Amino acid sequence: MGMTMTQKILADHAGLAAVRAGQLIEARLDLVLGNDITSPVAINEFEKAGFDSVFDKAKIALVMDHFTPNKDIKAAQQCKQTRTFARRFDIDNYFDVGNVGIEHALLPEQGLVAAGDCVIGADSHTCTYGALGAFSTGVGSTDMAAGMATGKAWFKVPAAIRVELKGRLNEYVSGKDVILHLIGLIGVDGALYKSLEFTGEGLSSLSMDDRLCIANMAIEAGAKNGIFMVDEITRKYMDGRVKRPYKVFAPDEDAEYERTVTIDLSALRPTVAFPHLPENTRTIDEVGEVKIDQVVIGSCTNGRLEDMKAAAEILKGKKVARDVRCIIIPATQQIYKDCIRAGYIDIFIDAGCAVSTPTCGPCLGGYMGILAEHERCVATTNRNFIGRMGHNLSEIYLANPAVAAASAITGRITDPKEVM
């Protein structure tokens, strides 16, 4: 029996000819990631274990993106601890206020992840990098500490689900709708500790921004990782960014999959996940009358340039509804600069939006957009759990950037076609 993409990468990094689902392996790592929340815990464990060196200062990335610029004293202390650690070991890839970005948008943009890599990060959405044909997954801070010191991690090789994509996306439908549709089909535990492997001729209609969004939310179906076949779109994205050799792994023809899910992209409609789970999906036609108080467009899921463009095209020449707060957060400094050049920032401000420096803040209820009791938010983020963005009695509706922008204009969840 052949191997899947994920199994081939893990076998390569474990120095084995082949691996099988359920097998325990130790694999070498190409990158270890931490942020301002998880890194301090990992640093404490690193020091507790008596480690006095890192395995490779160029293969560790520490990104101060969640509560920066510091929202309070605790946030400042966490960043100081991580900053001190980075300076102590001369970590090459340390990102702080002024040159920071939301980690899962920043690292691919900087060329720090490539096809065939094995990556761990002390953040559940580390699975984002599967969009590039890498194996990447979230781990706990203890595993991050061990990874920083040894450059290795233990894994149980995941079984796989093949997601076959066909057709092409229609107007106002994006990668966010693809992954919400999939989660709606299989549930938040439908891929528990499995690899979601995306293949099919429909890949050609998905941009890298679409793919990064889809891979990012593989964890919302319980997956260990999400991974895409490498094609010319992938190679074009990596060209000029990745400054080192990389390997491309394709699944064997007889690779073993537990099941195949087929999605016709041309049949998808803008999709909204109602509270309080990403699997609670409805198409825009099924939403009904849902009034809102806030819109957030950004995050590691939908803060990239195509997301900003989609929002700007909807908001241009229009105004945010009087009782709605619309917060827009470009995911990296480069995306922010690109938005300025394209005129998107002027459009956002003229429409009555607040535009922020890159941060994860509102996504996890940290700052920059906390919800009060009974408030409702349409967000392009990845989770809508109870209390995720503020009060336990608030509500989060997950949607693509076009739907979010249209909803900001009308004050209720809205089909973009209605305002265009």
3 state DSSP class of 236: helix
* H/E segment holding residue 379: strand 376-379
Global confidence as pTM: 0.95
* 278: preceding bond cis by omega (within 30 degrees): no
- C-alpha 317: how far from its chain's center? 30
Q: Give the closest residue to 394 by CA, choosing from 419, 376, 380, 368.
A: 376
Q: Are 142 and 238 in contact (CB under 8 A)?
A: no
Rounded CA Rg of the chain: 20
Backbone angles phi, psi at 189, to 5 degrees: -120, 20
pLDDT score for 275: 96
Structural tokens at position 153: 């991690």
3 state DSSP class of 336: helix
Domain boundaries 273-419, corresponding CATH code: 3.30.499.10
d(CA 103, CA 109): 10
Domain with CATH 3.30.499.10 in the chain: 5-264, 273-419
How confident is the model over 151-194, as pLDDT tens digits? 999 999 999 999 999 999 999 999 999 999 999 999 999 999 99
Distances (CA, A) of 64 to 40, 97, 137, 177: 11, 7, 19, 29
Task: Give 58's pLDDT tier (boundaries 50, 70, 90).
Answer: very high
* 391: preceding bond cis by omega (within 30 degrees): no
Task: Give the Cβ contact number of residue 289 at 10 Å.
Answer: 6
d(CA 392, CA 396): 11
Q: Are 65 and 103 in contact (CB under 8 A)?
A: yes
Burial of 247 (0-12, 13-18, 19+ CB in 10 A): middle
d(CA 106, CA 333): 9
Share of the chain above pLDDT 70, in %: 100
d(CA 100, CA 357): 9
Mean pLDDT for the chain?
Answer: 97
Instruction: Give yes or no for residue 1 having a pLDDT over 90.
Output: no
d(CA 336, CA 358): 8
Instruction: Give yes or no for residue 99 having a pLDDT over 80.
Output: yes
pLDDT score for 263: 98
Contacts with 329 (C-beta within 8 Å, 6 or more apart), sequence order: 102, 296, 297, 298, 299, 303, 355, 356, 357, 358, 359, 361, 362, 368
How confident is the model over 236-263, as pLDDT tens digits? 999 999 999 999 999 999 999 999 999 9
Task: Give 420's pLDDT tier (boundaries 50, 70, 90).
Answer: confident
**Alpha helices (H) in 5-113, listed in sequence order:** 5-14, 38-48, 73-88, 103-109
Instruction: Give yes or no for residue 296 having a pLDDT over 80.
Output: yes
Structural tokens at position 283: 């198409």
Contacts with 417 (C-beta within 8 Å, 6 or more apart), sequence order: 172
- Residue 417 C-beta-side C-alpha neighbours within 13 Å: 8
Task: Give 226's pLDDT tier (boundaries 50, 70, 90).
Answer: very high
pLDDT (mean) for 39-50: 97
pLDDT score for 362: 92
Instruction: Give yes or no for residue 390 having a pLDDT over 90.
Output: yes
Q: Give the closest residue to 260 by CA, choosing from 322, 200, 343, 170.
A: 200
Domain boundaries 5-264, corresponding CATH code: 3.30.499.10
Q: Are 141 and 47 in contact (CB under 8 A)?
A: no
